[in-house]
């Protein structure tokens, strides 16, 4: 949970509460659903079945496995487990796996954490061939040295490189070395390492057994170095790829090409996720890298188109931002879990197409994307995944944007987000965009700063109560057009105990963006697990489902529980618990399912003295011992006093809170004042 944001929100609520209570003189108040599994979308072949034919010959494979164990190994032995999976397969004479292992404080096998261990597994079995002094696996020189070692000593007709560790998407990169302050390989560093280790040919496949690396910018990085790429848009479960499954497939058909091997990696991975009940959010795709340059070209053209539209109408960015918030995005992107700033490229295009935001380029992107994504698997709660994600700055962090600009495949989108966050256009931006979209306009234009919302007009914005007891906030269309989201915050107040309990944020409102009128839809219910009330914060606003972040103690350790509400079934589904995105941009790979016997204690933000200056404290309230029948569901809040506030968010991720509305629930009837 981002404490600064929570503290600000809570104090605003407290101040509003004190004022409301003083004016209203409110009185004291008292205070097994089943889940239906949605069928996954599995093995979705994006056409071109003619490309699936095997390559003639049997020249053999060498797989170079860059195994950065990190906390996944020291905290759970996941790297050692995948090595065991590999070694359960009897490899043929023409398949060799070369491994460099390091980056972890401890190993469950016999590897020395103070060294980098190089091993070979082939038809003759497993052998440690070399130990070299420790070095950061997040250093491009370390990777380049390993690749050079492999190419010189273990060449093959087809060569693959597999990265194993955490992934953080475009900016944070891959291979976070636990021994070196979680140093990671950024995309520019990956490109530099492959260039330095050039062997005069292309790798058949580059694979990322890691989170969030199936991005258009990752694919663009490897166009010169490989034929195929396998990666996930979303976070991966800790089990990762099924090394036994796809190496058995490769051993049975060493003549397959990178696309075919990628398909086997996808299918066996998805089956493994199904086996442990974690397929709902699974994604994995095979990218034909020769098709990526055309995709990058039309993607950049879309960035130019968006940039020009914003130059001509600075309110454009807010329409674009609302589309991005409604598109499928990955790894969190909320204040509770942190931000990866990754959104599905195809779904973003679909959402922007509804308002004709990129009319000249949208269909071209979708066509080029379909050509580049050779194959993919995806779970039922990632049904909008199209195989590659792209950058969108959800959190308003300019430093993160600077990191993206250094590696962006599209200069236009780097300019676009710079304009978005700074509000300042430049002649360089305009010249680049107009040169690439000459048909848009040839007329000179005056470069205008983005009009930002007036904080004074939004903070404590008036809320009226209608005769039929509905809270209404009328911003007007012009002000609403300066925002990307409107939500509500809810808290419970107990005057007798002088206590406030903050319940969270949701978007269950009646919203008219054109007129700027927003109405409450308070129903007197809230989320719970095992009947215990929770703090929940909206994290994903897709069409078919919404996902919430719920802070909990899981067996005494802090986690964020991920829960989805599925509109078709009108039920919640518990997806699992994770740590979220850390300060280095590393996303937690190991989403943990709730298991029978686990103890879950919901964390609510509680202020025990309404007039004190102390922070609201995350407080364990209630205790649930997980059983096979434990569900997440809405429960009746019962009679009591509550406070409701509209929360408005702009494109820089600044938030503004309206006047507070006091809600009294008496004998099940709801009264607002």
Q: Which of 525, 526, 522, 524 has the alpha carbon at shortest distance from 470?
A: 522
Least confident window among 50-64, 157-171, 525-539: 50-64
Asked if the model's pLDDT at residue 342 lies above 80, the reply is: yes
Confidence of residue 160 (pLDDT cuts 50, 70, 90): very high
Whole-number Å distance between alpha carbons of 9 and 6: 5
Whole-number Å distance between alpha carbons of 11 and 613: 9
- Assess contact for 633 and 527: CB atoms under 8 A: yes
Please give the structure tokens belonging to residue 288.
């034909």
Asked if the model's pLDDT at residue 226 lies above 70, the reply is: yes
pLDDT value for 668: 86
Report if residue 369 sits inside a domain: no
Please give the structure tokens belonging to residue 489.
């915050």
- Classify residue 159 by its DSSP letter: E
Report if residue 163 sits inside a domain: yes
**Domain end call among 268, 290, 312:** 290
Least confident window among 38-52, 410-424, 650-664: 38-52
- Exposed (0-12), middle (13-18) or buried (19+): which is 567, by Cβ within 10 Å? exposed
**Domain end call among 290, 317, 337:** 290
Instruction: State the Cα torsion 98-104-108-114 to the nearest 10°.
Output: 80
Report if residue 166 sits inside a domain: yes
Q: Which of 465, 507, 508, 457 has the alpha carbon at shortest distance from 657?
A: 457
Q: Are residues 525 and 608 in the same domain?
A: yes
Question: What does the pLDDT look like over 513-537, one tens digit per residue?
Answer: 999 999 999 999 999 999 999 999 9
For CA atoms 153, 157, 163, 164, the dihedral sign is: negative
Residue tagged 């058949």 (tokens): 204
Q: Are residues 27 and 174 in the same domain?
A: no
Question: What does the pLDDT look like over 121-142, one tens digit per residue?
Answer: 999 999 999 999 999 999 999 9
Asked if the model's pLDDT at residue 14 lies above 50, the reply is: no
Per-residue pLDDT averaged across 356-373, rounded? 93
Whole-number Å distance between alpha carbons of 38 and 48: 28
pLDDT value for 6: 47
Q: Using alpha carbons, list the distances in angstroms from residue 488 to 168, 508, 655.
A: 30, 8, 11
- Classify residue 449 by its DSSP letter: P
Question: What does the pLDDT look like over 602-617, one tens digit per residue?
Answer: 999 998 876 666 677 8
Question: What does the pLDDT look like over 422-457, one tens digit per residue?
Answer: 998 899 999 999 888 866 655 667 788 888 888 988
1 vs 64, higher pLDDT: 64
Report if residue 389 sits inside a domain: no
Return the beta strands (E) in 109-192 as ranges.
115-122, 125-133, 158-164, 174-177, 183-185
Per-residue pLDDT averaged across 25-36, rounded? 37
Q: Are residues 201 and 242 in the same domain?
A: yes
Per-residue pLDDT averaged across 197-222, rounded? 97
Q: Are residues 244 and 105 in the same domain?
A: yes
Please give the structure tokens belonging to residue 52.
């699936």
Confidence of residue 585 (pLDDT cuts 50, 70, 90): low
Report if residue 410 sits inside a domain: no
- Assess contact for 594 and 626: CB atoms under 8 A: yes
Give residue 648's domain range.
Answer: 3-38+484-672
User: Which neighbouring-strand residues pair with 565?
Assistant: 546, 572
Asked if the model's pLDDT at residue 12 lies above 80, the reply is: no
Confidence of residue 36 (pLDDT cuts 50, 70, 90): very low
Please give the structure tokens belonging to residue 239.
């089990």
pLDDT value for 482: 92
Q: Are residues 553 and 594 in the same domain?
A: yes
pLDDT value for 590: 66
pLDDT value for 589: 63
Asked if the model's pLDDT at residue 22 lies above 70, the reply is: no
- Assess contact for 416 and 310: CB atoms under 8 A: yes
Q: Are residues 15 and 88 in the same domain?
A: no
Whole-number Å distance between alpha carbons of 300 and 142: 33
Whole-number Å distance between alpha carbons of 103 and 179: 6
Per-residue pLDDT averaged across 34-58, rounded? 37
pLDDT value for 587: 66
Asked if the model's pLDDT at residue 310 lies above 70, the reply is: yes
Report if residue 43 sits inside a domain: no
Give me the DSSP letters along 451-512.
PPP-HHHHTT---EE-TTS-EEEE--HHHHTT-SEEEEEEEEEETTTTEEEEEEEE--EEEE
pLDDT value for 2: 43
pLDDT value for 72: 92
CB atoms within 10 A of CB 59: 12
Q: Are residues 531 and 652 in the same domain?
A: yes
Number of domains comprising the chain = 2
User: The domain spanning residue 140 has which CATH number?
Assistant: 3.40.50.11970
Report if residue 409 sits inside a domain: no
**Domain end call among 290, 310, 332:** 290
User: How much of the chain exceeds pLDDT 70, in percent?
Assistant: 88
Q: Are residues 549 and 663 in the same domain?
A: yes
Question: What does the pLDDT look like over 473-502, one tens digit per residue?
Answer: 999 999 999 999 999 999 999 877 778 899
Q: Are residues 547 and 659 in the same domain?
A: yes
Return the beta strands (E) in 134-194 as ranges.
158-164, 174-177, 183-185
Average pLDDT, the chain: 88
Asked if the model's pLDDT at residue 220 lies above 90, the reply is: yes
Confidence of residue 45 (pLDDT cuts 50, 70, 90): very low
Report if residue 411 sits inside a domain: no
Asked if the model's pLDDT at residue 30 lies above 60, the reply is: no
Residue tagged 């990696």 (tokens): 265
Q: Are residues 498 and 633 in the same domain?
A: yes
List the end-to-end C-alpha distance of the chain, in Å, as a whole number: 31
Q: Are residues 492 and 592 in the same domain?
A: yes
Q: Are residues 10 and 142 in the same domain?
A: no
């Amino acid at each position: 949970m981002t404490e600064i944001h929570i503290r600000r929100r809570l104090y605003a609520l407290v101040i509003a509460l004190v004022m409301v209570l003083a004016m209203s003189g409110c009185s004291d108040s008292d205070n097994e659903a089943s889940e239906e599994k949605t069928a996954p979308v599995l093995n979705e072949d994006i056409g071109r079945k003619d490309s699936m034919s095997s390559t003639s010959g049997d020249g053999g494979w060498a797989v170079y496995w860059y195994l950065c164990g990190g906390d996944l190994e020291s905290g759970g032995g996941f790297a050692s487990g995948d090595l065991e999976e590999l070694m359960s397969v009897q490899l043929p004479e023409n398949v060799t796996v070369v491994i460099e292992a390091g980056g972890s404080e401890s190993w469950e096998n016999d590897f020395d954490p103070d060294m980098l261990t190089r091993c070979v597994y082939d038809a003759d079995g497993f052998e440690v061939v070399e130990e070299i002094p420790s070095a950061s696996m997040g250093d491009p020189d370390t990777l380049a040295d390993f690749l050079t070692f492999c190419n010189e000593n273990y060449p093959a007709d087809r060569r693959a490189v597999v990265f194993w560790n955490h992934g953080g998407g475009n900016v944070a990169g891959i291979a976070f070395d636990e021994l070196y302050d979680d140093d990671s390989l950024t995309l520019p560093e990956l490109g530099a390492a492959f260039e330095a280790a050039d062997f005069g040919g292309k790798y058949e496949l580059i694979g990322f057994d890691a989170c969030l690396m199936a991005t258009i910018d990752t694919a663009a990085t490897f166009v010169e170095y490989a034929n195929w790429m396998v990666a996930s848009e979303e976070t991966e479960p800790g089990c990762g790829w099924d090394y036994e499954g796809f190496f058995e497939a490769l051993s049975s058909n060493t003549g397959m090409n990178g696309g075919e091997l990628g398909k086997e990696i996808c299918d066996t991975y998805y089956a493994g996720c199904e086996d442990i009940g974690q397929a709902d959010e699974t994604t994995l795709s095979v990218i034909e890298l020769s098709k990526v340059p055309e995709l990058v070209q039309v993607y950049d053209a879309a960035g130019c188109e968006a940039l020009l539209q914003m130059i001509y109408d600075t309110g454009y960015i807010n329409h674009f931002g609302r589309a991005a918030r409604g598109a499928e995005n990955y790894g969190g992107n909320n204040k509770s879990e942190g931000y990866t700033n990754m959104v599905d490229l195809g779904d973003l295009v679909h959402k922007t197409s509804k308002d004709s935001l990129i009319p000249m380029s949208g269909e071209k992107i979708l066509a080029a994307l379909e050509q580049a994504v050779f194959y993919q698997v995806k779970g039922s709660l990632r049904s909008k995944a199209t195989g590659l994600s792209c950058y969108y700055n959800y959190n308003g962090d300019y430093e993160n944007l600077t990191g993206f600009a250094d590696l962006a495949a599209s200069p236009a989108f780097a300019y676009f987000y710079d304009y978005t966050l700074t509000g300042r256009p430049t002649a360089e931006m305009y010249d680049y965009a107009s040169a690439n979209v000459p048909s848009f306009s040839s007329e000179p234009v005056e470069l205008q700063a983005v009009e930002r919302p007036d904080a004074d007009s939004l903070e404590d914005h008036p809320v009226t109560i209608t005769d039929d007891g509905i809270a209404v906030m009328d911003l007007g269309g012009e002000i609403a057009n300066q925002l990307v989201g409107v939500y509500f915050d809810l808290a419970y107040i107990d005057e007798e105990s002088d206590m406030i309990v903050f319940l969270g944020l949701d978007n269950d409102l009646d919203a008219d963006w054109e007129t700027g009128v927003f109405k409450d839809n308070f129903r007197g219910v809230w989320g719970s697990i095992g009947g215990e009330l929770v703090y929940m914060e909206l994290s994903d606003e897709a069409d078919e489902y919404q996902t919430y972040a719920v802070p909990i103690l899981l067996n005494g350790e802090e986690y964020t529980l991920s829960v989805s509400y599925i509109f078709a079934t009108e039920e919640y589904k518990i997806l699992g618990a994770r740590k979220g995105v850390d300060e280095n941009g590393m996303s937690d790979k190991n989403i943990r399912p709730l298991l029978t016997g686990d103890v879950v204690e919901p964390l609510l933000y509680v202020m025990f003295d309404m007039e004190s200056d102390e922070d609201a404290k995350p407080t364990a309230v209630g205790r649930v011992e997980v059983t096979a029948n434990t569900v997440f569901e809405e429960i009746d809040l019962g009679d009591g006093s509550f406070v409701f506030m509209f929360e408005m968010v702009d494109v820089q991720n600044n938030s503004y809170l309206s006047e507070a509305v006091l809600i009294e629930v008496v004998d099940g009837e709801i009264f607002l004042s």
